[in-house]
Amino acid sequence: MIETIFFYLFASVTCLAGLMVISSRNPVHSVLFLILSFFNAAGLFILLGAEFLAMLLVVVYVGAVAVLFLFVVMMLDINFAELRDGFQRYMPLGLGVGGLLLTEILFVFFNRENMPERLDLTTGVSNTRALGRVLYTDYIYLFQIAGLILLVAMIGAITLTLRKRENVRKQSIKKQNERKREDTIEVVSVPTGVGIRKP
């Protein structure tokens, strides 16, 4: 009973938030609604018993991807009115794709008697533990390659974006410590009425 209530709660909020993502006028609000919909989808995963996937969704999509979107939306100067110009033109395409997806969902809905039974996965081992058992043993090879690929991604991103710029007034502690008194200060006795002439 309580499971059903929570399912409808999460599902309806996910759908409403998804609708708001595409209909809200302010792009920052869109991203925030996207985050809301991610959280509710994570709730649905927990109801299905997939707690690892739920945590992954929150950590990766909310923690990284959505924040990245937020940055991009705030930093790039995108003219959103211009983006909406093609609305009429792309309408048939969007309706076509949407209709196709709707047909597929309805197909599954009307054939639900013929679908295979839901497997009982409650073997007493949680998702996270089951993954942990094989990830570092059976799949250690792939785990290590994945590590190398991430290293390549990091080195690549830094190599392509880091460049040494001239004329940047950055504090150099070494330079400051090496400065001597003699290099910078000169004591000059100023004769009256003459002033200091630059050497």
Which residues make up the interface to another protein (CB under 8 A)?
137-142, 145-146, 148-149, 151-153, 155-156, 158-160, 163
CB of 52 vs another protein, minimal distance in Å: 19
Count other Cβ atoms within 10 Å, centred on residue 17: 19
Tell the smallest beta-carbon distance from residue 147 to another protein (Å).
10
**Residue closest to 59 by CA, chosen among 2, 128, 3, 123:** 128
| Distance in Å, CB of 55 to another protein, minimum | 23
| Cβ-based neighbour number of residue 108 at 10 Å | 11
Angle at the Cα of 144 from the Cα atoms of 140 and 146, rounded to 5 degrees: 115
Q: What gap in Å lies between CA 116 and CA 113, rounded to an integer?
A: 8
User: What is the identity of the amino acid at 119?
Assistant: L
Exposure string for 78-106, b = 16+ CB within 10 A, e = fewer: eeeeeeeeeeeeeeeeeeeeeeeeeeeee
CB of 173 to another protein, least distance (A): 17
Nearer to another protein, 160 or 190 (CB): 160
Q: Smallest distance from the beta carbon of 121 to another protein, in angstroms? A: 18
Nearer to another protein, 25 or 163 (CB): 163
- 116 or 124: CB nearest another protein: 116
Residue nearer to another protein on the CB measure, 28 or 68: 68
